[in-house]
């Protein structure tokens, strides 16, 4: 998982995608549930898409896995090999791009990755 991404998916684009997938948008959902942001980092509140019954809802959650112990920090690098996620409550993160950083000293070079 990256530790920085952007969310510039417009509400109209999100609605078109849901329509193409034949998925209903809950009536209480609005463009306020999909705020745009240039940088969403570990521990920031961010929109996610999750299954609720027969629909997909947008809601906000903290970006990262919860700490493994009371004094631990958020987990953002996670090895998935050999693990089962069949009963996990997975979600989708609406992101228009993600960032990776290179270099050994600050400030590191920031590289933007997108499908566009």
Q: Residues 72-90, buried b or exposed e (16+ Cβ, 10 A)?
A: eeeeeeeeeeeeeeeeeee
Spatial distance between the Cα atoms of 36 and 62, rounded to a whole number of angstroms: 15
Domain parsing of the chain, residue ranges: 4-68+91-113
* Residue 72 or 80, more confident: 72
Q: Give residue 115's pLDDT.
A: 87
The single-letter DSSP state of residue 33 is G
Which of 1, 57, 7 has its CA nearest to residue 29? 57
Q: If you average pLDDT over residues 57-85, what whole number do you get?
A: 79
CA dihedral (91, 96, 100, 101) positive or negative: negative
Predicted TM-score of the model (pTM): 0.80
The rounded distance, in Å, linking the Cα atoms of 66 and 75 is 6
Cα separation, 91 vs 28, whole angstroms: 19
93-108 mean pLDDT: 93
């Amino acid at each position: 998982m990256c530790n920085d991404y952007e969310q510039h998916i417009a509400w109209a684009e999100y609605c078109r995608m849901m329509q193409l997938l034949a998925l209903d948008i809950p009536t209480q959902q609005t463009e306020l549930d999909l705020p745009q942001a240039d940088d969403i980092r570990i521990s920031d509140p961010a929109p996610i898409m999750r299954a609720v019954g027969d629909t997909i809802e947008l809601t906000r959650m903290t970006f990262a896995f919860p700490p493994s112990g009371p004094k631990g920090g958020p987990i953002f690098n996670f090895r998935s090999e050999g693990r089962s996620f069949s009963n996990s409550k997975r979600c989708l993160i609406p992101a228009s791009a993600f960032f990776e950083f290179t270099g050994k000293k600050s400030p590191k070079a920031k590289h933007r990755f997108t499908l566009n």
